[in-house]
Structure 1
């Protein structure tokens, strides 16, 4: 080859290289490969979308935590006993069942941004209507709609973080969970100033009640008319020793604030969409180069996998029921049985949610050094110990221990939910969307009946059933976890021994 031919060849190679570079850049603009500026824009779009999700879940945590502290005031609005009012939790759980089924379907089949916006708006409307539902049927309907929206939003948000961030979704999942806790912490504190004041009179005391006002003691702060509880209701609440008079409830203000937060959250989605377009179209520019080729190989048989799945689903049912029942009836128990003020009860609810969040943060750090099985055991012990400590604190009338035990229960609870799903995915079977839906449906069905039973026992037998039921649920959950962990470890040892025996047989056969 002559020098001239070599120069021509080099020129062609350079030309082809330039054309290739040009094609790559243009190809990137068409949504396949991205340059640096497009990469930064994509990341910015992802972050803004994640912020929208966090705001939505913050609002969801706010709304969920509002039910417990305002439950006594919802009873005033409905003029019903605790056993009847407890149907609110069942309506919410039934809605959650429908939301878990429909939410994933809507997210997969329809425009995802529209699904988020519509779900949040409906949740805001149901929140705004809640304080104005004076009939039980209407109250159950709005809480049913809230359950549908809450389950659908939580399902869509979880799937969305996995879709938007792919293999990098871990920290953003944690951020979303923390946003839920943050909303749950703030909500009881915001609601406290607007709860109805109350005072108890001797059973033979007859306050002067007219059509427009009630003569109340001067030290009872009121903002309007007072409402006297009938003697039959007083028997159920205070053992026929007193009559309780309530001031006007203003919980339409915190519920209205919840509705406003929902509208703002939906507005953020619309603004981001109008400015940047759909984040899901932008994701076409993200190279999915981190797909792992390693897959877990589970040694359990199909039948044993089914048994372990049902066992862990039962444990999760006990966990969810205990969590919802504890925070749902905590305010009622502290006000009715322990004679705490509603302000103290609201602070106690916030203490629970604060330690709930701290437990999550601690779990994220500790899990790097301790196995998931050990983590499940440790936090189950913490939760069960907190339940027993709460019983002892109430029996011996130790207020400080009551505060401590509420915090311990919250600290031990939150990590368990995510740990069980992670343990199942690592050791038993792949956690698909279908499998997650089955778990949520199972938990929703179980959560529909137990709160009614607890409310009935508290109302008709003793308020102490709030603690008794929590202890029973915590011990049952603990026993369930221990049985699953021990059984799995035994099977794992047997499997390893059989593998070693097979290896030895192959070696001997080869020799």
Structure 2
């Protein structure tokens, strides 16, 4: 949930931070670029877990994230805000490169439903964050439909170090920076305090009874009993010994394991482009439409999107027990295409249409991330380095996306939808190639295996 709270902060509050800091929308959108720089740095922690304790690392970083979130609205300049978002990115990278591998390590073949449940908590955080922020948002001054769409226009160079602007600013009708600070510090402190609950509890668990991997437990049991370890029953990310029939398809020596890892990384990168474009720029896009959407209403819509996202995660826990993850992916991708088409054709002037289509987008995204891991886990052993590689690719893919959208969204808000369509298409194409590859190598290495066409 703590990560969901962090992810959902920026979108609803973007315009308020923009006015508070007296900067252009391009400059404030760089907050997400710094988030993804931190995210990439955080993913590298997956390479160090032979030397670092995962439980302790996550606890400490998320404590720092809670403190950083609380500090955002009272930061003295834009660069400190960048630093706060960078810290949130570091913890997000550590989490995403760790948790999926960790869950699969603990639950092995029963991990699909647990992965969906973990993502349900993430979704709940994305609901809660906009709801906490909503009563305190002001958005822009003026603009389309009173929503704060086109407020601040910067004509010259700004000094982002001390809020002094050496240029002409238009559409600012009052000196309300102090009011904005007074409004925003309350929800950010609330969010920061909520984020501190989980890492403190995890730290207490570490001090009382720390987690040990299955191999470590088996080794200790062996040392006590002096009996040989049946390593075929022990699942571990670093050392796994299985019989030939238990080896997964792309763990075979002749299979292209690196290609499978690359495809998983690209697939996750395409997914994160879809998700972060929606959650980071969805509220701003809504305020720039002609539908008369204000900042609080945009935050409420995004909270509803997160609600649909979370309900989808909860439903997927049950659906994944009966339906193969690849079929879940196809259904949710179809819903994304339908929703984006409705927004582009009918949504610009209608709040109900925008509201409905955005909710469908949230539901469409809900199952994709855990379903992808569950899908690939059928054919390849998920390891810490593999999770790190995938998370690093996600960070690289998202590095420039916020700045590009920041440059375009003020005058061409529809680019948000066009980018979403492009990213969904990219995801669909990569998924199709994965399907072809799995069929090819199943036919080549396991022609008599039950894992053939009906399961793909």
Same fold (TM > 0.5): yes
Assess if the C-alpha contact under 8 Å between 2:308 and 2:359 holds in 1.
yes
2:344 corresponds to 1:402: no
Shift of the 280–467 alpha-carbon distance from structure 1 to 2, 3 Å rule, reads same
1:178 to 87, 105, 120: 120
2:406 to 455, 461, 483: 455
Match of 1:411 in 2: 363
Which residues in structure 2 correspond to 1:54-453 (within 5 Å)?
58-102=1-45, 104-105=46-47, 107-161=49-103, 171-196=113-138, 198-200=140-142, 229=152, 232=155, 243-245=171-173, 247=176, 248-249=179-180, 250-272=183-205, 276-280=208-212, 284=217, 291=234, 295-298=246-249, 304-338=256-290, 339-395=292-348, 397-427=349-379, 429-453=380-404
User: Whole-Å Cα distance in 2 between the matches of residues 487 and 273 of structure 1?
Assistant: 42
Shift of the 404–92 alpha-carbon distance from structure 1 to 2, 3 Å rule, reads same
2:443 corresponds to 1:484: no
User: Whole-Å Cα distance in 2 between the matches of residues 279 and 495 of structure 1?
Assistant: 37
Q: Extract unaligned runs of 5+ from structure 2.
A: 157-169, 222-228, 236-241, 450-456
Assess if the C-alpha contact under 8 Å between 2:21 and 2:77 holds in 1.
yes
User: Whole-Å Cα distance in 2 between the matches of residues 478 and 111 of structure 1?
Assistant: 37
TM-score by length of structure 2 reads 0.78
Counterpart secondary structure, 1:99: helix
Greater RCO (Cα-Cα under 8 Å, separation 6 or more): 2
Assess if the C-alpha contact under 8 Å between 1:231 and 1:243 holds in 2.
no
User: Whole-Å Cα distance in 2 between the matches of residues 199 and 86 of structure 1?
Assistant: 19
Shift of 1:356: 1.1
The C-alpha deviation readout for 1:358-391, integer Å capped at 9, x for no partner, is 2223333333333333222222111222211221
User: Whole-Å Cα distance in 1 between the matches of residues 268 and 374 of structure 2?
Assistant: 13
Shift of 1:164: 5.8
Match of 2:167 in 1: none
Q: Extract unaligned runs of 5+ from structure 1.
A: 1-57, 203-218, 221-227, 234-241, 500-511
The C-alpha deviation readout for 1:402-452, integer Å capped at 9, x for no partner, is 11111111111121112222222223x322111111111111111111221
Choose 382-391 or 326-335, whichever is displaced more.
Answer: 382-391
User: Whole-Å Cα distance in 1 between the matches of residues 444 and 196 of structure 2?
Assistant: 56
Counterpart secondary structure, 1:200: coil
Choose 147-156 or 284-293, whichever is displaced more.
Answer: 284-293
Structure of higher CA gyration radius: 1
Choose 63-72 or 371-380, whichever is displaced more.
Answer: 371-380
1:470 to 420, 433, 449: 420
Shift of the 334–277 alpha-carbon distance from structure 1 to 2, 3 Å rule, reads same
Shift of the 365–107 alpha-carbon distance from structure 1 to 2, 3 Å rule, reads same
The C-alpha deviation readout for 1:317-340, integer Å capped at 9, x for no partner, is 111012101110111111123430
Count of residues paired in the alignment: 406
Assess if the C-alpha contact under 8 Å between 1:393 and 1:399 holds in 2.
no
Shift of 1:69: 0.8
Assess if the C-alpha contact under 8 Å between 1:90 and 1:449 holds in 2.
yes
Shift of 1:156: 4.2
Counterpart secondary structure, 2:398: helix
The C-alpha deviation readout for 1:286-315, integer Å capped at 9, x for no partner, is 989964856234278857444444334223
Shift of the 402–488 alpha-carbon distance from structure 1 to 2, 3 Å rule, reads same
TM-score by length of structure 1 reads 0.70
Assess if the C-alpha contact under 8 Å between 1:386 and 1:406 holds in 2.
yes
Counterpart secondary structure, 1:109: coil
